[in-house]
Amino acid sequence: MFLDNFVSDLKVLLKDGFKYNNKTYSIKIHSFVCDAPARAFIKCIKTHTGYYACEKCTQCGEYFNGRVIMRSVSCPKRNDLQFQLHIDEDHHLGVSPLLDLSFGLVSCFPIDYMHAVCLGVMRKLLNTWTCGKLSVRLPAKSVSTISQYMVNIRKCIPFEFSRKSRSLSDLARWKATEFRLFLLYLGPIVLKNVLPISIYENFMLLHCGIIILCSKTHISLLGYEFAGELLNKFIKHCEIIYGKEFLVYNVHLLCHLSDDVAKYGPLDEFSSFPFENYLGQMKHLVRSYHKPLQQIYKRLMEMGNFDFNVSENKIDTSLEHNMGPTPCHGKYKQFQKLKYGNSSFSTYSHSEANCYFLKGNVVIRVYNILVEQDNSNIFLYGKQFSNYSSLYTYPFDSNLINISVVSLLSSDLNLYSISDISCKCILIPLNSGTAKWASLPLIHKII
């Protein structure tokens, strides 16, 4: 009953398309992005605590130490026809109304890495290190060291991240974006020389596997199959390090992530992150309990959210100033913030997050944004690092994906054309007592 209206409306759209301004647009289902309980509910299958809960393979779970665990990473895969015919009766609880639609109920339900990996596996690891069993729990001093490091580098986190890094004492209140920030960027830095080497290298398997699957560039370079091998190795090592009880549903799903990436592209192409972000905005549009859907629709129309005529090359500057620095030659207008197409650049004085990659993998720190008086050219005015080395070498050399330790910042300021910028990066000072920084490109901002 819950999905009847949705299914009937979608049937019409799939058959007749959507008409707008005397033009008919064909409609096709890309995927359903849900967390595990929602997927189980609308597919009418066993939930994530069941023995036959896995939606991607036929593995039968094992009850151990108060939970159902899944140890294998190589069980036979499920397919859409098997689901339609209810071949595995132990997997189904009923007949899903979505079967009336012409799409696959296995292939069109990818794993959402926001819930499974960030809120699932990464949170489980951090909870294990801070309050797990004694054999893998970190000493209080080590937890304090990591927490202080996380607080100290808040000013290094670019504005592209909705939340800055927080102490592990706030772990219970961390959001999904904070777990993603830790997994993809901060973890390899703040955990180094703090975690025991076996646990650190196990974490690096997860970090490297996910960071490859998040980036189209990294997938092209290293392959989603290689990322899948790293995640399978992570799962196997977890059983050795943390015990069988660690291999719960979310950990098992890691072995299927690369298959979804092969079909849909990088993980952010089918994650819940954009929907969760927009959900918060929509909540503020509702003024009363009466007809909330209609309220949201009217507010969105008023805000002009359906005007898609945006120029990709539009230049938007803000926070003009005259505080320098500037070159001795030429006349320029100076700005603290610039939006160019889909990319944003900033030079806030209170921030240390003004760092970028040039094409050719050179890292620069930017001190000013300059626009020629006739608006013909845009430049970043900054200094570049001259020394580069690997941040890690296991499970592969970090330089392969442009993650490096940089040092020796030049004393001379130079002009860099906006067209020479490859992507923004995070620059984190290393806790080594030397003037060295870890440089990591923002994988969702690689041009």
DSSP states of 392-430:
--SSS-GGGGT-EEEEEE-SS-EEEEGGGEEEEEEEEE-
Q: Which tens digit of pLDDT belongs to each residue from 130-180?
A: 999 999 999 999 999 999 999 999 999 998 898 999 999 999 999 999 999
Interhelix angle 249-264/224-242, nearest 10 degrees: 180
DSSP 179: H
Confidence class of residue 342 from pLDDT cuts 50, 70 and 90? confident
Angle at 281 between CA 276 and CA 283, to 5 degrees: 95
Q: If you average pLDDT over residues 398-412, what whole number do you get?
A: 96
Secondary structure class of 3 (helix, strand, coil): coil
Predicted confidence (pLDDT) at residue 431 exceeds the cutoff of 70: yes
Integer Cα distance of 41 and 47 in angstroms: 8
**Residue 50 CB contacts under 8 Å (≥ 6 apart), including other chains:** 61, 68
Please list the residues that pair with 382 across neighbouring strands. 366, 414
Confidence class of residue 276 from pLDDT cuts 50, 70 and 90? confident
Predicted confidence (pLDDT) at residue 10 exceeds the cutoff of 70: yes
Distance between start and end Cα atoms, the chain: 46
Burial per residue of 179-190, b for 16 or more beta-carbon CB atoms within 10 angstroms, e otherwise = bbbbbbbbbbbb
Predicted confidence (pLDDT) at residue 446 exceeds the cutoff of 70: no
Q: Please state which CATH number belongs to domain 315-445.
A: 2.30.30
Integer Cα distance of 292 and 186 in angstroms: 39
Mean pLDDT of all residues belonging to the chain: 92
Sign, CA torsion 193/196/70/50 = negative
Integer Cα distance of 115 and 48 in angstroms: 12
* Tokens read off for 9: 């409306």
State the burial class of residue 145 (Cβ atoms within 10 Å of its Cβ: 0-12, 13-18, 19+): middle
Confidence class of residue 376 from pLDDT cuts 50, 70 and 90? confident
| Lowest-pLDDT range of 182-186, 289-293, 364-368 | 289-293
Q: If you average pLDDT over residues 313-322, what whole number do you get?
A: 76
Q: Name the residue among 393, 117, 124, 391 with its Cα closest to residue 241.
A: 124
State the burial class of residue 15 (Cβ atoms within 10 Å of its Cβ: 0-12, 13-18, 19+): exposed
Sign, CA torsion 413/417/422/423 = positive
Residue 194 phi, psi dihedral angles, 5° rounding: -115, -50
Confidence class of residue 7 from pLDDT cuts 50, 70 and 90? very high
Q: Name the residue among 262, 209, 267 with its Cα closest to residue 238.
A: 209
Contact in structure between 258 and 231 (CB atoms under 8 Å):
yes
Of the chain, the percentage scoring pLDDT greater than 90 comes to 74
Q: If you average pLDDT over residues 425-438, what whole number do you get?
A: 88
Predicted confidence (pLDDT) at residue 308 exceeds the cutoff of 50: no
Predicted confidence (pLDDT) at residue 244 exceeds the cutoff of 70: yes
Radius of gyration of the chain (CA): 25
DSSP 91: G
Q: What is the pTM of this model?
A: 0.92
Predicted confidence (pLDDT) at residue 306 exceeds the cutoff of 60: no
Integer Cα distance of 184 and 118 in angstroms: 10
Domain ranges of the chain: 4-109, 113-271, 315-445
Confidence class of residue 347 from pLDDT cuts 50, 70 and 90? confident
pLDDT of residue 447: 44
CA distances from 75 to 52, 58, 90, 132, 302 (A): 12, 6, 16, 29, 52
Integer Cα distance of 297 and 282 in angstroms: 10
3-state helix, strand, coil in the chain (%, to 5): 40, 20, 40
